[in-house]
Chains A and B, each alone.
Chain A
Amino acid sequence: MKAVIWIFVLITVALLGFGLYQALVIAPTEQTMGDVQRIFYYHVPSAWTAFLLFFVNFIASIVYLWKRSAGSDAIAVASAEVGVVFCTVVLITGPIWARPVWGIWWTWDARLTTTLVLWLIYVSYLVLRRFAAGSQTQVLAAALAIFGFVDVPIVFMAIRWFRTQHPSPVIGGGEGSGLDPTMWHAVLWNWLAFSCLAGLLVVVRYRLQRMEETVESAHAQLALQGGAR
């Protein structure tokens, strides 16, 4: 088991390195924006990875409500947390890109705004997990996760319509702007690399969650035995 993990780590590092090479060297320089456009190759794959992680959280939460297994709950919290991390990367690289291109840090651009709402929803999930008392935490969190993910397409539609009603600058080009094929390579390789990184982080967070739960229940057991004596 340990060997598999280490091989996976090596593959991930190699992919991340190759992705970086694709993004900074292989991909051609964009005509209008210049080199700053290369942020795209980290900004977009991070967004796709975050979305994938939130989907995993959705499935794990449903499985938890159905099976009530500690494993599915641990996957749920792990994928939500790592998802929030990737989402944070999207929300920070977006403005860093917008600033030199548009002269403003934030534009309430449809995609960035949707990402912000997503971030808020899953941060509220993590906050609920921290402040819920005792054993109900997992059930309540799973319910909230389902609400959150079901909301995602509605959020997307709402903000997109709002933006067509009130147009503003769009980060990363509008719907029509196409990507040169070599640019797609950079996006896809980085997406693969980030997905592997996400997988690794989820595995670590999952094991951490299971171990912390074991320790907590062991402490509870000791307290009970201590009281009984």
Chain B
Amino acid sequence: MLKAKVEIRLKRGVVDPEGKNITKALHLLNFNEVTKTKVSKVVEIWLETDDRERAMERVDEMCRRLLANPVINDYTIEIEDVHD
């Protein structure tokens, strides 16, 4: 069994209002060394297969068809073995 870990980020140049708000809040808490904060989302997907290459293809398709919008998102996929 495999698990895919997909990290979906905003593309470089896309405004990240949530990240900006977090930076502001951290400054208000006196974490003044913070210069920038970016928010991304991680989706973990368990797959009933041991074929890593095929799993990568399928998860990439999932990203293109649902999980990411190519206009604003980049994503990376990591595949690992799991036993549960």
Partners in one complex: no
- Residues on A close to B: CB < 8 A? none
